[in-house]
A and B are shown apart, each in its own frame.
Chain A
C-alpha cells in the first residue's frame, strides 16, 4: 500500500485533504455549500475545454473555476445567490457537454475527471499542486479574521469597516483555486463532499472557531486516508469512499452529539 507508485497518491491526497478541510470550514460556516458544489463542476467543463484545444488541463481547470466564482458573485448582485449559483452551474455544465460532444474524449478520461483518479497523479503534477495549495492557505490565513466575522455576522463586519463584497469574492476565488487542484485527484463531483462532510462534523463537535477549523482538517485528512486505503484494498473507485465516508463522518458526529445531550447533566461534571 505504501509502494512507490502510491507515493504521489498519498502526497497529493493529503495536500488536498488539508486544503479541503480548511476551506470547507468556511464553506459550512457561510452556508455556501452550493457554490462549493458548482465551482468544481465548472472546473470540470474547463478541463474538457482544455482537452479540446490541447492545453494543460490544470490551466482549463483554474480558468473555469475562477470563471464560475466570478460568475456566481456577479449574478448574485442581480438575484438571490442560490438562483445565481444554479444558473452559473448549468451554463458551465452545458459548455462542458458541448466540449465533450465536439472532442473525441475517451470515456475513462471523463470518468476520471468526474470521479477522480488518484493514482493518475504524476510527480511533475505534484509541484504545481503543492504551490497552488500554499497560495490558497496563505490566502485563507490573510482573510481569516474578516472572513470569520463576515461569515458569522455580516452586519457586524460592515460596522467594523469590512468590505463584505470583496471578502465574498476573495473567498470564492480561494474555493475556485482549491477546486481546480482537487478535481483531477478526487474528481469534480467529490471535491465538494470533502468540503462539506468533515467540516460540518467538526462544527457539531465544537463551537470554538479555531478548534473547529483544526478538527475539520483532521477529519478530512482521516477521511481521505481511509478512502485511499479502502480504494487500494477493494479496487473500487476512490470517489465512492470519499463520498460515503464524508457523509459517514457527519452522521457519526450527529450521533455523538445526540448521545452527549441525552447523557444526564451530572455525569458531565
Chain B
C-alpha cells in the first residue's frame, strides 16, 4: 500500500519537493484570501482575475519582462478596472467583472497568437492556461515567498473592517468603515493572491484552491479563525495529495505519460467538498432546523 501510494523516488525528486513547498504556500494564501472571497460573494471576480493575470503574464512574456511582474501587474490593473466600472451593487459587479474578463481574454488571444508567431516551441498556450506546479523555476521561490507574506500581512491588517463589511455592509458603514476603500484594498490583495497562484499552479488550480477549500470550511466552521485554519489545511491536503497522485500516475498508466496535477488536485478539492457537506448535513439533521429561508447566515455572529 505504501509502495503503491509513494512510488520510488518521490521524495528525493527536487521538482517534487519544490512543488510540494510552493503548492503548500499558495494553498495557504488562497485559503486565507478565499474565505473572504466566498463570504463577500466575489468568486466570479476571484476567478476572472486569474484569467486577467494570465493575460498579463502572456503580455510580459511577449515584452520579455519577468512573468511575475506580468501576472501581478495584470491582476492589479484588472482589479482597478473592475472597481472603476463599479462593483458596489451585486448585479453591476457581475457586469463589471464580465466586461473586464472579456477584454482580458481578447488580449490573451492576441498575445498568445503573437507568442506562437515568435517562437517555435509548442505547448506555450497550454502551459500558460493550465499551468503545472512541476514546471516552476526554483529561482522564483524567493519572490513567491515575499509576495505571499505581503498578501497575508495585508489581509491580517484589514481583517476586522473586511470581515464586517463582508458580512453586513450596513453595520460596517454605520460603524464608520469606508466600504469602498476596504473593497478596493481587498480586490488588490485578491489580484495579487490569484496572480501568484496562477503563475505557480496555473489558472484552473488557482480558482479551485481559492474557492473550493474555503467554501468547504465555511460550511462547518463556527468562527472566523476556524474557517481560516480549516481552509488552509484542506487546501494544503488537496495540493499535496494531488502532487503525489500526479507523480504516481506516471507509473499507474505505464505509458510514460501521467495525468496533470490540476486534475488530481481538483478531484481532491471536490471530494473534500462532498465529505464536508455530508458532515454539515448530518449536523443539521441532529438539530431541529428552521427552514433555510428563515435562518440568518451563521457568520453574522462572527463580527
Contact = CB atoms under 8 A, between A and B. Distances in A.
Do these two chains really belong together in a complex?
yes
B267 A236 contact: no
Interface stretch (A6-14, A74-82, A138-146, A172-180): A74-82
Given A34-B43, A80-B41, A240-B110, A197 B207 contact: no
22 contacts: A28-B95, A33-B98, A34-B44, A34-B97, A82-B43, A86-B210, A87-B273, A90-B204, A90-B207, A90-B208, A90-B211, A90-B266, A91-B270, A94-B208, A94-B265, A97-B262, A110-B126, A189-B109, A239-B105, A243-B105, A247-B100, A254-B85
A100 interface: yes
Given A83-B38, A87-B273, A94 B204 contact: yes
Interface residues of A, number: 54
Interface of B: 38, 41-44, 46-48, 51, 85, 90-91, 94-95, 97-110, 112-113, 116, 122-123, 125-126, 129-130, 204-205, 207-208, 210-212, 215, 219, 257-260, 262-263, 265-267, 269-270, 273, 277
B296 to A, nearest CB: 15
A206 interface: no
Contact of B94 (A34, A83, A93): A34
Q: Is the interface of B mostly helix, strand, loop or mixed?
A: helix
A200 B92 CA distance: 10
Interface in A65-112: 78-80, 82-83, 85-87, 89-91, 93-95, 97-98, 100-102, 107, 110-111
A242 interface: yes
Contacts of B42: 82
The 8 closest A-B pairs by CB, nearest first: A243-B106, A193-B102, A239-B109, A94-B266, A247-B103, A196-B98, A33-B98, A240-B110
A90 B206 CA distance: 9
Interface in A237-265: 237, 239-247, 250-251, 254
Interface in A37-68: 37
Contact of B113 (A196, A237, A250): A237
B97 A91 contact: no
A87 B109 contact: no
Contacts of B205: 90
Interface of A: 28, 31-34, 36-37, 78-80, 82-83, 85-87, 89-91, 93-95, 97-98, 100-102, 107, 110-111, 114-116, 187, 189-190, 192-193, 196-197, 200, 236-237, 239-247, 250-251, 254
Given A95-B263, A98-B263, A102-B257, 10 more contacts: A28-B94, A85-B43, A87-B273, A93-B262, A97-B130, A100-B126, A107-B116, A193-B101, A197-B99, A246-B103
